[in-house]
Each structure stands twice: as C-alpha cells, then as structure tokens.
Amino acid sequence: MQNYSCSSECPLCLNQGAPGPAAGGSGALLTAGEALCLDGRAAALGAAALLFILGLALRPWLQSLPSPYLEYAVFVTAYGLAGGEIIWKALRNLLRGRVLDEYFLMAAAGTGAAAIGELPEAVAVVLFFRVGELLEQVAVNRSRRSIAALMGARPDYAILVAPRGEEIKVSPEEVRPGQEIIVRPGEKVPLDGEIVRGESFVDQAALTGEPVPRRVSPGDPVPAGAINGSGLLRVKVLKEYSESSLAKIFKLVQEAAARKAKTEKFITRFARIYTPAVVGGAAALALIPPLIIPGAAFNTWFYRALVLLVISCPCALVISIPLGYIGGIGSASRHGILIKGGNYLEALLKVKTVVFDKTGTLTRGVFRVAQVLPHGGHTEEEILYWAAHAEIYSNHPIARSIREAYRDEIRPETVGDHEERKGLGVRASVDGKTVLAGNSRLLQEEGVAHDPCGGPGCAVYLAVEGSYIGCLVISDTVRDDAAAAVSRLKELGVTKTVMLTGDSPEAAAAVAARVGIDAYSAGLLPGGKVERIEALLAGMAGGRGKLAFVGDGINDAPALTRADVGIAMGGMGSDAAIEAADVVIMDDRPGKVAGVMQIAAFTRKIVVQNIAMALGVKGFFLLMGAFGAASVWEAVFADVGVAILAILNAGRALGYKPR
C-alpha cells in the first residue's frame, strides 16, 4: 500500500491534499468526486468480499461438480473486483518505469497463486490488500481532517457595505482593504480587519486552539476565521483574503506535507533497495531449489516464493511512518501549533538550547508609560507632547503606548519629516524642530549627551534641537505562563535558556530573573541577535544538540531563519516572523514550546514502534515462508495485518495531548 491519493488515481477526484483556497476546496474533508470514488471502491470490495466468503463456504460443493467453471467464475469474479485496479496500476507503473513497487508484488503474488490453482489464496491476497488500502485512506483522511480542521473556518462569503449603505453578499476574495463588512452573530469573520462598530466575543479556537472567546470592541483587531458571538460587528478590512492570517495558515498546512523527516526519507530509500532484493530472492527461491534438490517440486517452491513476495511488501513501513508524522502535525494543529514539516518534528527532539526574544514572546508586548522623567527644567507634559508627536506615524507598540499616555489631541499638521530608524527610534520634525525619540544608542549616534534613564523597563530618550530634555520609562508585563514554560523546557532536557532583547540591561535583567532564564543579552539590534545565535551555535558544534529560537517581531525574522528550529508567535507576531519560522504558535503562549517538543517526542516513539513491529514481524514470517512453514494466509497477515496495526498505532499520535 502506498499513500493512496484518490485524486491522483481517479478522474473524479479533483482536490488532492488538504482542502483550502489554494486547492479550490470548500473546507470539507472530501470533495463530492473523492467521496464518490471512495464509495465506489468500498462497494466493489464489498461485492468481492461477499463472493469470497460465499466461495469458501460452498467450495466443497463447487469442487464436487463435474465442471470447475462455476468455482472459477466465483473466485475469478471476486479476484477481478478486488484485484483489477491492482493489476492495472502495476502495468501502468511498469510502463512509467516504476518497477517492483507494492502493486507489482501484489499482482505477481495474486496472479501466481491463481495460476497454480490456489484460487482462494489469490483472492485473499488482493482482497485484504485493498481492504488495508481502504482503511489507510480512512486514516489519512482522519489525519487530514485534524491537520486542516481549521479549513472549516474558511468563510464562504462576506457581507460588504456598499458606498450607499446597502449590504451585498460577495466572495471574500472580492473585498479590498479599506472596505467595510458586516459580521452577524454566529458568522465567521471572512477577512482580517479592525472593528469600527459593535462589541462581541469572538471564538478563535480553530486558529489558536484557545477555547475561551475573546472580548472585542471598536479598535480591536479580528482575524479571518474567528467566529462572532452574540454582537453585530462592523469591520474595516485591513488585508486582502490572500494575505489574511487564515490564508497564510492554509498555505502553511499545505506545505507541511512536502517537508519529509529524515526517517521518512530513509524508509523511502530503504524500500527502493529492499523490494528489488526480495523479488530477486523470491525468484531464486522458486527456481534454484527445483534444480539442485532431488525430487523438489516446482509448484511447492513457486508457492513459497509467492508467500515471500506477499510478506516482503514494505507497506507498513512506507505508509505508517509518514502517517505517524502527519498525526503528530495534526495533534499540534489541534492545540494551536502549526508545524511546517515532519523534519522539524525530528529537529525538535534534539533541541538543547532555547533562545527567546523578550518583547511579545516572554512578555505580552502590551506597553504603558510607567514614568516620565524630565530633564533640564522641562515638564512631564512637554516630554509627552514631543514624544507623542514624534511617534505619530510609528506602528511600534511602544509608540502606541506613548500616544495613549498623551491625553490631549495629537495634531498631525505639526509633524513634518518623519524617519524611523530601525532598532533605534524615530527622527521627526515637530513644530519645525528636530525631535529624536528612541533608545540611548540613537542619541549617541546623533551626538546628544544624556543621563541614564533609571527604572526597570524600556527607556525612550527625548532630544529637541540636539538638546536632551528627558525620558520615558515604558513597562511591559511578563506572560503568565512564561516562568512555567522555561521550567518545563528544562524538565524536558533543555540544558540552556537564553534571552535576547533590544531593551535596556535593567529591563532584561528583571525579566530574566522573574522567568528563570539562564543568560541574556540586552541592547541588541536584529544583526546582533543573529551574531549571538551564531556564537551559541558555534559552541554547540560537535553533536551537542540543536538550537531553537522563539520570537515574534519583524526584527526576529533573521534570527528565526538562522536557528536550527525557528518558532514564531503567530497571534500577535509579524508576517515576516511567521514566514521565516518553522513552527508557529497561534496563541502566543510560550508554554506551547514545551508542548510541541512533547508532541515531537511522542511522534518519534510511534514511528520507532512501527519500524520495530514491521521489521520484526516481516523478518519472522520471511524465515517461516522460506522453509515452507507459512502459507499465503500468514503472508497476508504479515503484510496487510501489520500495515493496519501500524496505521492504527500511528493514529495514536493524532489524539496525543501534551502536558
């Protein structure tokens, strides 16, 4: 059995892979064509099974008849219903150059058994193979449904508010940024936007795994895919559907299957060598003993060779191992964690160093002005005035907190030139005067002398016309589960935790002490974070494990890319960070870093169990078959039975719940 894709084999099936907008799916588990194809195969197998059972029950009577034609009619018809597709695929694959795959093995074993008169065994080989294949498809669909449970969150329509005020039902893809839509109670939010009118609770469980609805009101963002509660909302669209958070999740889910783990790649290579070797061994078993052993019957050794072929099919390995990784990815998605491929699940097992960004990762990224410290006779009101106007066009959370702290109206007409200096702050013209607002490094680069700004938190220094006038202390709150997250990582075998931040050493020291971080570096620009990560990686050379970086901001994208495993906070994180990351935590909870490592460990356990079970059982029955102690019936169990057991075992990964 291979990872059977209905769409690749049946002209009715049009939607391969996880359904979603990229594939043109509607979010259902199966398209109508796929369901029809699956039902058709099930009906054919049901008829074949009925004829098979009937033939076995009536075989003594059928064999007592003068002519064998009726017996042949029953079993050959059953064989055709169950094995016709197998023979067709084997022939087609041969023409395509795919020789000695599982379909060839099954077709050869079934046809050979029929040729020597073992009709029930011939039907059993193909029938049980197809039953296992059908069960495999059900298991794959179940995993696909779990990985893409959020596909059901895809909205089918948006209610657009037209220029004259009328409401028009349109496709989400037709709505443009800046337009406004209506979201009624119980409806899905079709696009990313900001509430302009109304209050409600929105359920984001499909996106984040968080079961508690979030209260929203005017000014709050709402993501596509969230379900509105009891209030009527009017939402200003911020992004086109293709750029929405939901569409990006679809893309991540669909790309995950393309990234195979090393174990999957090894098994694929192993099967390419193993299968031809076994076919050669079966041919030798059929031909050599009758030639060299006196009195050896060709039929006897040919039958043993057929048994060997059936046993040797590497179905359990080829199918259950990828399915185990799919189950692990599906389990993670149920808990609001998106993993972009099985290879990252394997990499997580080797993580020994975890590096955290501070703001928005270990802390909430929700800032407030804690202190205003004037200098040189200036007042608090003056400091806030200059800072709020200088930060008027900045989207940084610190800039928003400064604007919120300034109680009066901000007048955009007073602001002229505005330049945002990445990692430093802003330079703006306010009332015709040059204002600097940023960290200490910004003032140093501009040659402005200033005093250190005391107090735990992020310091924003202010200078007007080259003169230092004071500073603001901006505080952030540590996430509730941050300390527990770091502690749990250490329990799971992480030997070192590090925090990197652009904030002041005082702020970094306070957070590190509260959370339990082993080491930290403060005052870093994006390039500085990458340099620190490279230094840590250099110290880990020689098989000392892998390094994971956890961050959320656009300035974290280079560090996420450089780490062995990049983990992004997807709830409030930037698009750049999510794109650069290998794992995305959709509700910004650092505790889920330990959770995804637990899922990785459990998935690996399932995969190892399946490998050991498949190789052990097959090895035992191969030995028995070679000495004539195993019949086709035992061979069917060694092939299809073990494959089904492995598939069921792989399904356990899907329901795993990390602690």
Residues labelled catalytic? 357
First to last CA, the chain: 34
Helix (H) or strand (E) holding 200: strand 200-203
In degrees, rounded to 5, the angle at the alpha carbon of residue 165 between the alpha carbons of residues 159 and 171 is 20
Q: How far apart (Å, rounded) are the C-alpha atoms in residues 570 and 589?
A: 10
Q: How far apart (Å, rounded) are the C-alpha atoms in residues 130 and 176?
A: 49
Q: How far apart (Å, rounded) are the C-alpha atoms in residues 130 and 106?
A: 10
Q: Which residues contact 282 (CB under 8 A, 6 or more apart)?
A: 305, 306, 308, 309, 312
Q: Is 543 exposed, middle or buried (0-12, 13-18, 19+ CB in 10 A)?
A: exposed
Q: How far apart (Å, rounded) are the C-alpha atoms in residues 540 and 486?
A: 20
In degrees, rounded to 5, the angle at the alpha carbon of residue 308 between the alpha carbons of residues 302 and 131 is 115
Q: Is 155 exposed, middle or buried (0-12, 13-18, 19+ CB in 10 A)?
A: buried
State how beta strands 583-585 and 565-569 pair.
parallel
Helix (H) or strand (E) holding 403: helix 397-405
Q: How far apart (Å, rounded) are the C-alpha atoms in residues 438 and 415?
A: 17
Q: How far apart (Å, rounded) are the C-alpha atoms in residues 582 and 579?
A: 8
- Nearest one of 179, 134, 107, 124 to 39, comparing CA atoms: 134
645: three-class secondary structure by DSSP: helix
- Please give the single-letter amino acid code of residue 619: G
- Please give the single-letter amino acid code of residue 299: N
Q: How far apart (Å, rounded) are the C-alpha atoms in residues 109 and 44?
A: 21
Distances (CA, A) of 292 to 47, 138, 282, 625: 44, 48, 16, 19
Neighbour order of strands in the sheet with 467-475: 368-374, 467-475, 458-464, 433-438, 425-430, 415-421
Q: How far apart (Å, rounded) are the C-alpha atoms in residues 167 and 163?
A: 9
Q: How far apart (Å, rounded) are the C-alpha atoms in residues 232 and 237?
A: 16
Q: How far apart (Å, rounded) are the C-alpha atoms in residues 616 and 107?
A: 24
Q: Are 650 and 324 in contact (CB under 8 A)?
A: yes
Residue that is written with structure tokens 């498949």 in the block: 614
